[in-house]
């Protein structure tokens, strides 16, 4: 039986600055919009299969790019909330300063990998490739702009995590049955 998560206690202070909370809302809104656009494009593509008219090839292509853009646009949100793919085994064995040290090291690794990927995405965006996408004819270098921005935000959020007093996952108040 699972319990319903309780809302945070309004008396506990918020540890994340207002700028990060605003950025989280913007990233989450962007992700929701992208997911809605992908759904609309896939629905359009499915409806076109049953019409006697010629279909729009660009809907499938844009939906595929949209899925990639969705992934990278919410990467910063997931890193900032400590909800990205991680190995939480260490959290069960370490406490206190050791857990904090591992958490800082993990965020520094995420920031370093993000920085390397941003450098490569920057080279792809500004490399001046003459290729275009097959159906839409968008310059291929433009398709790397959103991943570059998303990885930049993920790296910055990982660096910001190293400055937080506790990981966001540990900020949540205990449930009623754990008190």
Determine contact, residues 169/82, Cβ cutoff 8 Å.
yes
Determine contact, residues 79/159, Cβ cutoff 8 Å.
no
Q: What is the pLDDT of residue 170?
A: 52
Q: Whose CA is closest to 74, among 37, 29, 135, 139?
A: 29
Give residue limits of the domains in the chain: 18-167
* Residue 175 pLDDT exceeds 90: no
* Residue 13 pLDDT exceeds 50: no
Round the average pLDDT of the chain to a whole number and report it.
81
How far are the Cα atoms of 25, 30, 32, 56 from residue 61, in angstroms, in the given order? 28, 20, 19, 10
Which tops the pLDDT comparison, 162 or 129? 162
Per-residue pLDDT tens over the stretch 85-102 = 666 777 777 777 888 888
Determine contact, residues 137/61, Cβ cutoff 8 Å.
no
Per-residue pLDDT tens over the stretch 50-81 = 888 877 888 888 999 999 999 998 988 888 87
* Residue 174 pLDDT exceeds 60: no
How far are the Cα atoms of 37, 90, 174 from residue 178, in angstroms, in the given order? 41, 21, 6
Q: What is the pLDDT of residue 15?
A: 62
The Cα 117–Cα 136 span in angstroms is 26
């Amino acid at each position: 039986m699972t319990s319903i998560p309780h809302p945070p206690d309004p008396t506990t202070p918020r540890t994340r600055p207002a700028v990060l909370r605003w950025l989280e809302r913007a990233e989450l809104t962007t992700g929701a919009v992208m997911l809605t656009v992908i759904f609309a494009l896939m629905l359009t593509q499915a409806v076109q299969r049953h019409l006697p008219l010629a279909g729009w090839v660009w809907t499938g292509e844009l939906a595929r790019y949209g899925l990639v853009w969705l992934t990278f646009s919410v990467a910063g949100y997931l890193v900032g909330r400590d909800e990205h793919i991680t190995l939480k085994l260490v959290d069960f064995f370490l406490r206190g300063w050791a857990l904090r040290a591992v958490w800082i090291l993990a965020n520094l690794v995420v920031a370093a990998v993000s920085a390397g990927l941003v450098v490569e995405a920057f080279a792809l965006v500004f490399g001046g490739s003459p290729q275009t996408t097959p159906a839409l004819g968008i310059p291929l270098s433009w398709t790397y702009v959103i991943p570059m921005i998303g990885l930049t935000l993920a790296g910055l959020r990982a660096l910001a995590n190293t400055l937080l007093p506790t990981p966001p996952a540990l900020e949540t108040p205990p449930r009623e049955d754990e008190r």
